[in-house]
Amino acid sequence: MVRPRLVWPDFNGTLTSWLEWLSFSAMKDDASLQSFRSSLDANYDWPCLFPFKFIVPKGQSQQVLELFADDPVKAKESSSGRFIAYTMEMHMHSCDEVIAIYQRVAQVPGVISL
C-alpha cells in the first residue's frame, strides 16, 4: 500500500483560514469543492488510509459518534472539558468518499474539521 502524501494548501499560512475554507467554502461553493477535490487527488494515492480529526463540543459528541459507529475512534477531552477531539483513520477509495465524510460531519453544529 502506498502511504498518502499530505501537503496542505497554503492559505496565508494560518490554521484559521484553512479551517474556514474546509468547513464552509468547500462544502457550499462548487469551485472551492472542485479545488479541494483536486488537492486531495494530487496529494493522495487512492485507495488509502485517510486521517480525520474533528473537534466537537461535548454536547454534540453523540451525534458525531453515531456517524462513525462501525469505525475505530480515538477520543481526547480538552483540558477545559468543553470539547472532545475525535481522531480516526478510515480506508477511503476516492476523494469523493472523503468529501462525503466532511459533509456529513458538517451537519453537526459546532464541529471543527481539521
Q: Is 2 helix (H, G, I), strand (E, B) or coil?
A: coil
Q: What is the CA radius of gyration of the chain?
A: 14
Task: Tell me the HSE value of 73 on the side-chain side, using a 13 A CA sphere.
Answer: 20
Q: Give 28 or 50, the one with higher predicted confidence.
A: 50
d(CA 114, CA 111): 10
d(CA 99, CA 93): 11
Question: Residue 7: is its pLDDT beyond 60?
Answer: no
Output the pLDDT for position 11: 42
Task: Establish whether the linkage from the previous residue to 51 is cis, with ω within 30° of 0.
Answer: no
Going along the chain from its start, the domains and CATH numbers come out as 15-113 (3.30.70.260)
Output the pLDDT for position 92: 95
Question: Residue 37: is its pLDDT beyond 60?
Answer: yes
Question: Residue 20: is its pLDDT beyond 50?
Answer: no
Identify the CA nearest to 106 among candidates 2, 6, 28: 28
Task: Tell me the HSE value of 11 on the side-chain side, using a 13 A CA sphere.
Answer: 17
Q: String of b and e for 51-86 (b: at least 16 CB within 10 Å)?
A: ebebbbbeebbebbeebbeeeebeeeeeeeeebbeb
State the average pLDDT for the chain: 81
